[in-house]
Amino acid sequence: MTMPGATFQYEQIAVRASGAVGAEVCEVDLSKLTDAMVAELHRARGDHGVLFFRDQVLSEADHIAVAERFGTINVNRFFTAVDGFPQIAEVRKEAEQTANIGGGWHTDHSYDEIPAMGSILYAREVPEVGGDTLFASMYAAYDSLSEGMRSMLCSLNAVHSSRHVFGARAERPAELSARLGNQAAATQDAVHPMVIRHPVSGRPALYVNPGFTLRIEGWTPAESAPVLAFLYAHASRPEHTYRFHWMPGSVAFWDNRATWHYAVNDYHGERRLMHRITLEGDALSAAVPGGGAPSRAVHAVGG
């Protein structure tokens, strides 16, 4: 079934596209999925980059069970887990805190040799006003580049790292230290093609992000900076993005290979509590045969 504005056909689910990125899945209870619905949701996530669900009632055990229908759970090594449920990362900001987690454009786990496929984020407590999440389409970002730029990028790889975000030398507000940890695990860098072929949709997608990309492989940081700055500004143009407003019981299921996201920090004095489960992904491949090398891990001296 399709809803107005949709451009993809599905038989088991009703989907309303949100523009360049994202789609709302209507009248689906995530705790009662059939195998056929799971298969179509898997395809729809690849098509749209992120799927939105409303009015879900999920216990922690339900959340885990839903995630396991779509893949193997990645136990996040940096986030504080929910008590008794190590599979669920807690994304929390208390009313008296000022710094939030994810307050900048990024895609999760690009610093891993095999990045996580995506995450299922469930809203447990949200502010009355604010606390939205922005999403950006890396399909649209790639498609709207010039032919010359696309050709150049398809021949290049980029270096990604977690060290400057989660490592011992990372600069971050002290109040985030209680919500993030395990700094010793932030030592591995990874190299990925700058344009990947999405493993589900087959579409080319830009694969760099401001949060974790350090430089273009084989280029100096100074040489890389203007190209990356252009790509970051281009990818986050309004026509490539969608702003999702959370309500209690809302779920966003995004694909890291096709999107960026940005948690807007505009709800000071209110509490926001989200539960996130991340799923393991597949090795990335370049979008164009011969363009870029397969993803690989590198280890930096000195962490």
Q: Measure the CA–CA gap between 82 and 60, rounded to whole angstroms.
A: 9
Q: Which of 108, 112, 189, 255 is catalytic?
A: 108
268 is catalytic: no
Residues 6+ apart with CB under 8 A from 141: 205, 206, 231, 234, 235, 240
pLDDT of residue 125: 97
Quick check: 22 and 10 in contact, CB under 8 A? Answer: no
Q: Measure the CA–CA gap between 90 and 275, rounded to whole angstroms.
A: 5
The alpha-helical segments, DSSP class H, found in 93-174 are 138-143, 147-153, 163-166
pLDDT of residue 6: 43
pLDDT of residue 184: 47
Written out in words, the top-level CATH class of the domain with range 14-299 is alpha beta
The alpha-helical segments, DSSP class H, found in 132-220 are 138-143, 147-153, 163-166
Residues 6+ apart with CB under 8 A from 219: none
Q: Which residue has the tokens 């069970």?
A: 65
299 is catalytic: no
189 is catalytic: no
- Six-digit token string for 302: 């000195």
pLDDT digits (tens), the chain, 303 positions: 444 344 588 999 999 998 999 999 999 999 999 999 999 999 999 999 999 999 999 999 999 999 999 999 988 776 688 999 999 999 989 999 887 877 899 998 888 888 999 999 999 999 999 999 999 999 999 999 999 999 999 999 999 987 555 544 545 555 455 544 445 444 678 899 999 999 999 999 999 999 889 999 999 999 999 999 999 999 999 999 999 999 999 999 999 999 999 999 999 999 999 999 999 999 899 987 555 566 666 654 333
Q: Which of 42, 45, 48, 106 is catalytic?
A: 106
Residues 6+ apart with CB under 8 A from 297: 112, 113, 188, 189, 190, 191
Give the three-state DSSP class for 231: helix
The crossing angle, in degrees rounded to 10, of helices 60-70 and 35-48 is 80
Bridge-based pairing of strands 81-82 and 118-125 is unpaired
Q: Which residues of 181-198 are buried (b: 16+ CB within 10 A; e: fewer)?
A: eebeebbbbbbbbbbbbb
Q: Which of 45, 192, 261, 275 is catalytic?
A: 261
Bridge-based pairing of strands 50-53 and 23-26 is parallel
Quote the DSSP letter at residue 30.
Answer: G
pLDDT of residue 303: 33
276 is catalytic: yes
The pTM (predicted TM-score) of the whole model is 0.88
